[in-house]
Amino acid sequence: MASIDYPLEHPKIHPREFSFSETLYAWVATVDHKRLGLMYIVSALIFLVIAGIMASVMRIQLAVPNNHFVDPDTFNRLFTMHGTTMVFLVGMPIVAGLSNYLVPLMIGARDMAFPRLNAFGFWIFLFGGLLLYYSYIGGSGLSGAGSAPDVGWFAYAPLTEKAFSRGASSDFWALGVMVSGFGSIASAINVIATTISLRCPGMTLSRMPVFVWVMLVDAWLILVALPPLSAAQIMLLLDRSLGANFFNTQAGGSAVLWQHFFWIFGHPEVYILIFPAFGTLSEIIPIFSRKPIFGRPAMVGAVVAIGFISLGVWAHHMFAVGMTSWSNTFFAASSMLVGVPTGIKIFNWTATMYGGKLRFATPMLFCCGFLLQFLVAGLTGIMLAVAPFDWQLHDSYFVVAHFHFTLIGGLVFGVFAGLYYWFPKATGRMLSEKLGKWHFWLFCIGFNMTFIPLHFAGMLGMPRRIYTYAAGRGWESWNMIASIGVIFQAAGILFFVWNVIQSLRFGERAGDDPWDAWTLEWATTSPPPEYNFEKLPVVRSSRPLWDLKHPQDPDWKFE
């Protein structure tokens, strides 16, 4: 027998209710990866709603030409804060939250490798986020100019230099994002150390769930891609506060250098953001198809390939800055190549479903939505990678539509799939299927209604980041349709929020393993005890619970 016996106390049954302050203390002082994971996810969802409201205000403003719903400064702050929030305060904590909650459970560990570093990472992330939002109050600075940052989420120099961005708003942007980035780096180191060092006996790298592999590569990308952004932000802060000249074009500084540094971070970043969705799909599709993931090695290989190729594609955001035709062609080529492993993933997910018995519970619905929408996003991505075509599409609404297809149609759908799938594990109760289906269909219809038209607005010459536009350029109808779509999306989100509130109190009891799943997190109770497993599991295949449920036909016989 190879199980390792730990002298553990029996799970306590608490005889009394905790007071509010005790509960608060327990959450604030916790180093438990599950609580930290939940706090990451909850803060991400709160920021998602805030940034979603910002987006809705922008869609109201753009619904009709020459609208005066908000003034230009407000609008510019809205899209800056919307973008920054969505990337750094929604996407990044989703990465950290899902990997925190699930990685130790999936590899049969009792916690993350560095639990206290983990808590530090969360609180510094939250501090960074609050610092960014404090700019609404404190951003006017000593000179009384400005409020929240209004330089766009990629904050191109020299617009961010003191001469063009007065007040303290750009400092808040740089500091807030940088500080929350330190949290992401802390959490990434933690994920890597956890997956490498804390796997339970038998959990070889080749048996590790695909989700864990994806989050491992994701952590690697965070480690190599975030520091360039922090470096550039340090330079920007030196420029702004000590009069350094990095991006000061008057002193010979280069405006293009910021773009290089930003996109050396920024392009891997979009993969960092989409990876959690890759992970959740790789877990959910097999369970609801009742088949193992098709081509495991290819799936893992594709993720690793993306983890390296995506480091060499950044300048496809810069086809319009006047690089040589050789550089443009190089970056076009590398950008298209990164589509190959991404394609492999879509094919393998489809092949996993092929021949299965598909059960369309809400998580699976979101996965199907993901597949079709992410296919569109990938193909418009190929269009954007073709440099001459990009000269037309770049910085137009086509780009806005493209990356919302990846980040909403892809990431958000994948994350919702994951939330519906793992909610029972985290809370012990199921989310309502009925409300879930309302949520899915409203959100899916609204999303497509908003973002399909924006492709066409871009092709008709509508640039991004304009707070208003004149009538008669062929953009009105597309924008109106897009804005109407927001109503459906918002309704979908309301159903989700209502679903969570309802199900937390009245949801059906989930039991340990409601989906009849195969990975280790379903081997413990729902919610799991603080130490996750009474006995450390021992695995002999990539589907340990399948082996347990099918002793006549275990996976390890074939591996």
Partner 1 sequence: MIVHALAALLQTQVPGLPEHRVANIFKPLASPAQSEYEIAVFVIAITTVIFVVVGGLIVFTIVRFRRRPSDDTRQEPPQVYGSNQIEVAWTVIPILIVFVLIGVTARITAGVQNASPPASTVKVTVIGHQWWWEVVYPDFGLTTANEIHVPASPDGKTATYLTLRSMDVIHSFWVPQLSGKTDLIPNRDNFLWIDPKEAGIYLGNCAEYCGTQHANMLLRVIAHPPGDFEKWMAEQQKPAEQNPQMTEAKAMFESLSCINCHTVKGTPAVGKFGPDLTHLMSRETIGAGVLTNTAENLRNWINDPQVAKPGCYMPSMKLTDQELGQVVSYLESLK
Partner 2 sequence: MAATSVVPVPPGPMEREWTTPDRGTVGIIFLIVTETALFSIFVVTYLVYIGKSLNGPYPREVLSIPIIASICLLLSSWTVYRAEHALQHNHLDRFKLWWIITILLGGEFLIATGVEWYHLITKEHFTISTNLAGSTFYSLVGLHASHVIVGLTFLLLVLIVTLAGFPIQTQFRRVRFLSWYWHFVDGIWVVVFTVVYIIGR
Angle at 512 between CA 508 and CA 516, to 5 degrees: 95
Contacts of 20 (CB under 8 A, 6+ apart): none
For residues 463-522, which are near partner 2 according to CB under 8 A? 511-513, 520
Tell whether residue 113 is a contact of partner 2 (CB under 8 A): yes
- Looking at 38-46, 212-220, 390-398, 444-452, which segment touches partner 1 (CB under 8 A)? 390-398
For residue 441, the minimal CB distance to partner 1 (Å) is 15
Report the distance separating Cα 232 and Cα 246, nearest Å.
9
Cβ atoms of residues 440 and 491 within 8 Å: no
Contact partner, 228, from partner 1, partner 2, none, Cβ < 5-8 Å per class? partner 2
What is the per-residue burial (b if ≥16 Cβ within 10 Å, else e) of 214-244? bbbbbbbbbeebbebbbebbebbbebbeeeb
Which two three-digit tokens encode residue 79? Answer: 């899209």
Tell whether residue 355 is a contact of partner 1 (CB under 8 A): yes
* Residue that the structure tokens 């970043």 belong to: 269
Report the distance separating Cα 36 and Cα 33, nearest Å.
5
Give the count of residues interacting with partner 2 (CB under 8 A): 65
For residue 247, the minimal CB distance to partner 1 (Å) is 10
For residue 32, the minimal CB distance to partner 2 (Å) is 17
Class of residue 64 by CB neighbours under 10 A (exposed 0-12, middle 13-18, buried 19+): middle
Residue in 42, 164, 196, 511 binding partner 1, rule: CB under 8 A: 164
Grouping H, G, I as helix, E, B as strand and the rest as coil, residue 359 is coil
Tell whether residue 340 is a contact of partner 1 (CB under 8 A): yes
Report the distance separating Cα 512 and Cα 361, nearest Å.
18
CB atoms within 10 A of CB 524: 19
For residues 166-185, which are near partner 2 according to CB under 8 A? 185
CB atoms within 10 A of CB 515: 20
Residue in 474, 494, 504, 557 binding partner 1, rule: CB under 8 A: 474
For residues 22-81, which are near partner 1 according to CB under 8 A? 71-73, 76
- Looking at 188-196, 221-229, 315-323, 426-434, which segment touches partner 1 (CB under 8 A)? 315-323
**Nearer to partner 2 (CB atom), residue 295 or residue 554:** 554
For residue 195, the minimal CB distance to partner 2 (Å) is 9
What is the per-residue burial (b if ≥16 Cβ within 10 Å, else e) of 334-364? bbeebbebbebbbebbebbbeebeeeebbbb
Question: How far is C-alpha 499 from the geometric centre of its chain's CA atoms?
Answer: 22
Question: How far is C-alpha 323 from the geometric centre of its chain's CA atoms?
Answer: 31
**Nearer to partner 2 (CB atom), residue 238 or residue 375:** 238
* Residue that the structure tokens 């989409």 belong to: 274
Tell whether residue 97 is a contact of partner 1 (CB under 8 A): no
Instruction: Mark residues 250-269: x for contact with partner 2 by CB under 8 A, - for none.
Output: -xxxx--x---x--x-----
- Looking at 17-25, 220-228, 430-438, 467-475, which segment touches partner 2 (CB under 8 A)? 220-228
Report the distance separating Cα 218 and Cα 270, nearest Å.
11
Residue in 117, 298, 445, 538 binding partner 1, rule: CB under 8 A: 298
Residue in 245, 327, 427, 468 binding partner 2, rule: CB under 8 A: 245
What spatial distance separates the first Cα and last Cα of the chain, rounded to whole Å?
21
**Nearer to partner 1 (CB atom), residue 31 or residue 166:** 166
Tell whether residue 193 is a contact of partner 2 (CB under 8 A): yes
**Nearer to partner 1 (CB atom), residue 126 or residue 210:** 210
Report the distance separating Cα 248 and Cα 395, nearest Å.
24
Backbone angles phi, psi at 77, to 5 degrees: -65, -40
Report the distance separating Cα 299 and Cα 349, nearest Å.
9
For residue 448, the minimal CB distance to partner 2 (Å) is 38
Grouping H, G, I as helix, E, B as strand and the rest as coil, residue 533 is coil
- Looking at 111-119, 338-346, 429-437, 528-536, which segment touches partner 1 (CB under 8 A)? 338-346
Contact partner, 467, from partner 2, partner 1, none, Cβ < 5-8 Å per class? partner 1
**Nearer to partner 2 (CB atom), residue 13 or residue 29:** 13
Tell whether residue 390 is a contact of partner 1 (CB under 8 A): yes
Residue in 93, 128, 149, 228 binding partner 2, rule: CB under 8 A: 228
Tell whether residue 372 is a contact of partner 1 (CB under 8 A): yes
**Nearer to partner 2 (CB atom), residue 487 or residue 536:** 536
Backbone angles phi, psi at 4, to 5 degrees: -100, 120
Cβ atoms of residues 43 and 88 within 8 Å: no
Contact partner, 545, from partner 2, partner 1, none, Cβ < 5-8 Å per class? partner 2
For residues 185-204, which are near partner 1 according to CB under 8 A? none
Residue in 24, 196, 321, 494 binding partner 2, rule: CB under 8 A: 196
Q: Which of 43, 87, 41, 23 is nearest to 422 (CA)?
A: 41
Q: Using CB under 8 A, list all residues that contact partner 2.
A: 1-3, 113-114, 185, 188-190, 192-194, 196-199, 201-202, 223-228, 230-232, 234-235, 238-239, 242-246, 251-254, 257, 261, 264, 511-513, 520, 523-525, 528, 533-540, 544-545, 547-548, 554, 556
